[in-house]
A and B are shown apart, each in its own frame.
Chain A
């Protein structure tokens, strides 16, 4: 409980620090939401000044931050100038779509990566292992955007999937049609996510398992004639789990921010297009809200990873690691 309390306090301080940095950086960034209005000769400078005053943008940074903290305490997280609505409901509406996409992608990624990483580690130096090593280096070195555009181009060129944009929750259609439509639309972005993430996670899992396979206690287990399955499940996997759990924490942390670009490219109505639009139009509080939501998932993901590590590794529980 003490550990949990300490971690929670640290998380709150971290979120406060991120929010302060967000305000400082957005203040330093050039331009504002009303810059385009200034170019319009029909809008007078007084009107713009009135609008700035209405949204509190004429106030000093400290006052604006104070107001935002109060708004965050009410779970509004500021007010979007472009949508003329509180930020939280706007973000949550889109975040649900993003989470549906990223959670599916993450689940599939781990379901593929864990057994594949272990299998490749057990066949170190085999032709398939070498082939995967070259292929994954290739995928890791190419920016995610390029892979997404390339896969999109393949899908469009050969008409592999019906492409559509717009809201996901259509009314007046049966559940089955809705699920089919959802699955079809998710296929491409989820494939891109799984393709890119798996290349990284499989490499990490393979490296962790290889490291444990070389340890004397695993060799000792082999020397007793213990069967490979028992050595794998009783010795190797629990020992290799710690780095994989930390990595899983990072995956959770990236649930909100990991797919933003892919959503924009594939036309998925998640947070990606919303944040991009808000950034381009300088919709200050919406951008800050998006960053804070991402930070919240990062802190939450790391907290879950810490708790999982605590459960998985008795050395952390007994504090023995600290002693060494």
Chain B
């Protein structure tokens, strides 16, 4: 088991994951079922208002952890302590009370919002289950859309009329409507161009400061998350192989997987610099 790193006061981390494991059915039928372990004995914790980046190559199990933490999946084992309450095995009814407090921003902004909806419908939907009436919903939607730097005049536009970056802002606005305490970003920057990535990252930092959001950022791009995260955990083959403060991970990587991720990030950076130089 990897050593846990605490990103706030030692006794009361806001989100603590202990021994989380999840496996999926990989094939076979009935008594000959073959399972594949996607997450094995995952441990980490994040203090209130802090950010942990969970990084790793594709298929390392990062998204499984994100889905378990947001309880889109029920973990096979382990605990997920959210503000002192274990949500790992909560029933559907009890989860409904917890869900507004922990929201997820999905990888693909284009497919994470129903394309048949208008921006207002998409943003207001989480508020319906809270029993808010239409004028209350509209007023909250107008407030949160401004928070993500989009115009309230665009609320009646179809989601299809927004660009990829704008849709990711809409997804963030939608997540904010429930006033979450924890935001899980599952590869939320993938598919966006560099300048949009930077804008969204800055927006998230501003929102984190404004709402004291605790963030779990899932990414394969170590360079991108180092600017946002207080701590980094590196995953490989379903396990956390190394974790520590961002500074420690970047300056003194111990595990081969971390070194590989850092070296590929540097290669990508130098390629970009070469391309920029050539085009100049």
Instruction: Please list the residues of chain A having a beta carbon within 8 angstroms of any beta carbon in chain B.
Output: 125, 130, 215-217, 219-227, 230, 235, 238-239, 313-315, 318, 320
Contacts and interface: CB of A to CB of B under 8 A. Distances in A.
Contacts of B245: none
B29 A220 contact: no
Contacts of A239: 114, 116
Interface of B: 25, 29, 70, 72, 95-97, 99-100, 103-104, 106-108, 111-116, 125-126, 128-129, 158, 160-161, 171, 174, 178
A245 to B, nearest CB: 14
B113 A220 contact: yes
B155 to A, nearest CB: 16
B158 A320 contact: yes
Contact of B106 (A220, A225, A227): A220
Max count, chain A CB within 10 A of own CB: residue among B95, B112, B114, B128: B114
Nearest to A317: B158
Contacts of B114: 217, 221, 235, 239
Contacts of B96: 225
A130 B112 CA distance: 30
Given A215-B111, A220-B113, A224-B129, 11 more contacts: A216-B106, A216-B108, A220-B171, A221-B125, A223-B70, A224-B125, A225-B95, A225-B129, A226-B125, A227-B129, A315-B115
Contacts of B100: 224-225
Given A223-B70, A226-B125, A320-B160, A315 B106 contact: no
Given A217-B111, A222-B72, A223-B99, A315 B104 contact: no
B99 A313 contact: no
B106 A219 contact: yes
Contacts of A219: 72, 106
A281 to B, nearest CB: 53
Contacts of A225: 95-97, 99-100, 126, 129
A314 B99 contact: no
A223 B25 contact: no
Contacts of A221: 114, 125
Contacts of B72: 219, 222-223
A226 B92 CA distance: 11
A221 B97 CA distance: 15
A231 to B, nearest CB: 10
26 contacts: A215-B111, A216-B106, A216-B107, A216-B108, A217-B113, A219-B72, A220-B104, A220-B113, A220-B171, A222-B72, A223-B99, A223-B103, A224-B99, A224-B125, A225-B95, A225-B129, A227-B129, A230-B128, A235-B114, A239-B114, A313-B116, A314-B158, A315-B116, A320-B158, A320-B160, A320-B161
Nearest first, the 5 A-B pairs at minimum CB distance are A225-B99, A216-B112, A224-B126, A225-B96, A320-B160
Contacts of B95: 225
B104 A223 contact: yes
Contacts of B158: 314, 318, 320
A221 B129 CA distance: 11
A205 B229 CA distance: 44
Contact of A216 (B70, B111, B178): B111
Nearest to A215: B111
A83 B35 CA distance: 68
Contacts of B129: 224-227
Contacts of B171: 220
Contacts of A227: 129
Contacts of A216: 106-108, 111-112
Contacts of A230: 128
A226 B126 contact: yes
Max count, chain B CB within 10 A of own CB: residue among A130, A222, A224, A230: A224
A318 B118 CA distance: 13
B29 A130 contact: yes
Nearest to B115: A315
A313 B100 CA distance: 30
A225 to B, nearest CB: 4
Contacts of A125: 25
A236 B128 CA distance: 18
A50 B268 CA distance: 87
Nearest to A227: B129
A144 B10 CA distance: 70
Contacts of A224: 99-100, 103, 125-126, 129, 178
A253 to B, nearest CB: 27
Nearest to A125: B25
A222 to B, nearest CB: 6
A233 to B, nearest CB: 13
Max count, chain B CB within 10 A of own CB: residue among A223, A313, A314: A223
A238 B116 contact: yes
Contacts of A320: 158, 160-161
A221 B114 CA distance: 9
Contacts of B178: 224
A13 to B, nearest CB: 32
Contacts of B108: 216
